[in-house]
A and B are shown apart, each in its own frame.
Chain A
Amino acid sequence: MTSRKPPRVGDSPTFRRFLIAFVLIVGTLLIAAPLAVIFAQAFSKGWPTFASTIAHPDTRHAIFLTVVTALIAVPINTVFGIAAAWALTKFDFRGKRLLTILIELPFSISPIVAGVAYLFVYGLQGLFGPLLQSADIKILFALPGIVLASMFVTAPFVARELIPLMQAQGRDLEEAATSLGASGWRTFFYVTLPNIRWAMLYGIVLCNARLMGEFGAVSVVSGNIRGQTNTLPLHIELLYHDYQTVGAFAAASILTVLALVTIVAKVLLERQGAGRHHGSALAGPVAVSQDTTR
């Protein structure tokens, strides 16, 4: 790739230097500066202030709520992703294309629209609202609503990693295993899972990052009750609008570290071959190839 024996287009030293300088300068302005400002602000009053903000009960509760939401939603999402990939790649049935579109749909929909939509299902003015109220079940403005909205927003993450990969791997290995008498579960755990584990982990890492950072959808369904239904991103907004800038950035720095860890994990997993089966990276609707009529 880098053998530049005959100079390729754009290899003239002047152009090279110009383009690299342009990319470095704009990249610094647009990516590095916002990243740096988060930590600069978080520690602008020194370590003790930072530590006391993080230790504040409201912040701790926001972290707790975010982690609990992820602990519920990510495993469910993973099971769904595996099931969807298994159903779509191991069998032939009609309506496959429609099902794929429905799985990928949440990536195309604004989180705000998702939040509003959930309101019209579980809210008082929604489909099940009156029913839920008479049964005294609280979904909106409580943990279940936050979990459901988060699951909507992150629905495609694991499935979209597994579907193209399992498509490419075909069915031969699993068919061989079952024909030799292995049960379905045994086939899955000993034949399929070893082949898809890195892609699955890749999907889980991205799903978790998006879920813990989700703002729009959760802000509609959570009700923003301080110390009760505020996830970490919502808590950041609240502190910021309260002019507690250091506190807001201290809380933001936690999510920033999560983002950086996610990027490192992503690079490491890509070295294992994960994430190669589609072009765009973390979000965005990706058309899954549907040439499965074999």
Chain B
Amino acid sequence: MRQRRILPGFGLSMGITLCYVAVIVALPIGALVFKAASLGPEDYWRIVTSARALASYRVTVLSAAAATAFNLVFGLALAWALVRYQFPGRRLIDAMVDLPFALPTAVAGIALTTVFASNGWFGSFLASMNIKVVYTPLGIMVAMAFTSLPFIVRTVQPVLEDLDPALEEAAQSLGSSDLNIFRRVILPLLTPALLAGTSLAFARSLGEFGAIIFIAGNQPMETEITALLAFIRLEEYDYPAAAAIASVMLFAAFVMLAVTNYLQARALRYTAR
């Protein structure tokens, strides 16, 4: 490490950075943790393990898991098609994969609700098969799948692009079948990126709010996600409960951040980028 700083601007740039991070990021998070901690262990435990809170964790985690599983399959298929095949509209689809990130979540929420409502384009068709999406956990999954779609595509895509064809050719020349090569050569190379994308998508689904509240119906115990429960407690002026539930979400976010960082570090090591 150098002793002397050669370039100017350390004080200024560091000052701006620390001020911003302290005021905008650290202060509110600290205040939330402080508020939750000031509850006392018994009250805190009672709030975060209340039946309604537990039900909201279950709905959120299960829906996020289902949405992520869907995106794992569809995201991999989409990335594969975009990288390996030429077909009309390929570049348009490649660009539109980012739509769920660029489209405000409230807009996505009302659009998905309208499409899947029982009188909507898909909803009326699904209703004829007795499948109800809007105001059911299925609706939560659809909203989560939409908002987290780009993560897996965008983490797998570059790895798939950089894949050395020689590896496949070697396996082919040894007489291995396509399915076998995919399973034993390609999939292991994609796994780190797939895992990293999966954890990003899952984390995003856990915290999603805007897209979900329109389509979920928000029935306590059944279709109420944890983020909404925190919001409802605020509207009821039950600030301690809001703080406690938000702190559980914050804790889950930290866990997911640690998992994602670990997986991403692994993915970077494997792809040597």
User: In the docked arrangement, what's the CA distance between A84 and B25, Å?
Assistant: 14
Q: Which residues does chain A contribute within 8 Å of B200, judged by CB atoms?
A: 280, 284-285
Whether the pair B24, A252 counts as a contact (CB closer than 8 A) is no
User: In the docked arrangement, what's the CA distance between A281 and B230, Å?
Assistant: 29
User: In the docked arrangement, what's the CA distance between A79 and B20, Å?
Assistant: 10
Q: B1-14 vs A: 1/0 string, CB under 8 Å?
A: 11001111110111
Q: Which residues does chain A contribute within 8 Å of B169, judged by CB atoms?
A: 6
A116-B32, A220-B234 are known contacts. Are A281 and B101 too (CB-CB below 8 A)? yes
- Within A210-239, which residues are at the interface with B (CB < 8 Å)? 210, 212-216, 219-220, 233-234, 236-237
B240 (CB) vs chain A CBs: closest residue: A125
Q: Which residues does chain B contribute within 8 Å of A236, judged by CB atoms?
A: 106-107, 110
Whether the pair B17, A27 counts as a contact (CB closer than 8 A) is no
- Within B224-243, which residues are at the interface with A (CB < 8 Å)? 227-228, 230-231, 234, 239, 242-243
- Within A237-284, which residues are at the interface with B (CB < 8 Å)? 237, 240, 245, 248-249, 252, 255-256, 259-260, 262-264, 266-267, 279-284
B65 within 8 A of A: no
Q: B78-114 vs A: 1/0 string, CB under 8 Å?
A: 1011011111010001011111111111111011101
Interface hit among A48-56, A107-115, A195-203: A107-115
B216 within 8 A of A: no
Q: Which residues does chain A contribute within 8 Å of B51, judged by CB atoms?
A: none
Whether the pair A152, B81 counts as a contact (CB closer than 8 A) is no
- Within B1-59, which residues are at the interface with A (CB < 8 Å)? 1-2, 5-10, 12-18, 20-21, 24-29, 31-32, 34-35
Q: Which residues does chain A contribute within 8 Å of B151, judged by CB atoms?
A: 280, 284
Give the size range of A's interface with the partner.
Answer: 35 or more
Q: A98-126 vs B: 1/0 string, CB under 8 Å?
A: 01011101101111111011111101011
A178 within 8 A of B: yes
The 20 sampled A-B contact pairs (Cβ below 8 Å) are: A6-B169, A31-B97, A31-B149, A88-B17, A99-B21, A113-B207, A113-B230, A117-B28, A119-B234, A120-B31, A151-B24, A152-B25, A175-B6, A259-B102, A259-B104, A263-B98, A266-B102, A279-B196, A285-B203, A287-B268
User: In the docked arrangement, what's the CA distance between A33 and B126, Å?
Assistant: 15
A29 (CB) vs chain B CBs: closest residue: B122
Whether the pair B24, A152 counts as a contact (CB closer than 8 A) is yes
Q: Which residues does chain B contribute within 8 Å of A249, judged by CB atoms?
A: 110, 114
Tell me whether chain A's interface is mostly helix, strand or loop, or mixed: helix
In the complex, the number of residue pairs spanning A and B with C-beta atoms less than 8 Å apart equals 325
Q: Which residues does chain B contribute within 8 Å of A116, judged by CB atoms?
A: 32, 230, 234, 242-243, 246
B62 within 8 A of A: no
A residues at B contact (CB < 8 Å) = 1-2, 6, 8-12, 15-16, 19-20, 22-24, 26-27, 29-35, 37-38, 41, 76, 79-80, 82-84, 86-88, 90-93, 99, 101-103, 105-106, 108-114, 116-121, 123, 125-127, 148, 151-152, 155, 171, 174-175, 178-179, 183-184, 187-188, 209-210, 212-216, 219-220, 233-234, 236-237, 240, 245, 248-249, 252, 255-256, 259-260, 262-264, 266-267, 279-287, 289, 293
